[in-house]
Amino acid sequence: MSLVIGAVIILLILWILGASKTVILSVIFFGMMAMVFISFVVFVVTNIRLIGAKRTEAVYSRTEKNYWGSLDRIFYTVDGVEYPNIFPGEVAFKDILYKTDTPVKVLFTRGKNVVDRNAELCCRIGIVVTAIMLLVFLYLTRSLYFL
The pLDDT score that the predictor gives to residue 82 is 87
Q: How far is CA 83 from CA 42, 52, 86, 128, in A?
A: 21, 17, 9, 28
Cα–Cα distance for residue pair 82/97, rounded to 1 Å: 18
> Can you give the pLDDT of all 147 residues of the chain as single tens digits?
677 788 788 888 888 888 888 888 888 888 889 999 999 999 999 899 888 888 888 888 888 787 777 778 888 888 888 888 888 777 777 666 777 778 888 888 887 888 888 888 889 999 999 999 999 988 888 776 555
Q: How far is CA 118 from CA 34, 67, 103, in A?
A: 26, 22, 14
Burial of 74 (0-12, 13-18, 19+ CB in 10 A): buried
Query: In the 3-class helix/strand/coil scheme, how is 25-46 assigned residue by residue?
Result: HHHHHHHHHHHHHHHHHHHHHH
Element holding 82 (H helix, E strand): strand 81-84
The pLDDT score that the predictor gives to residue 43 is 93
The pLDDT score that the predictor gives to residue 131 is 96
Amino acid of residue 98: Y
Cα–Cα distance for residue pair 14/5, rounded to 1 Å: 14
Break the chain into its structural domains and give their ranges. 2-49+124-143, 54-115
The pLDDT score that the predictor gives to residue 1 is 62
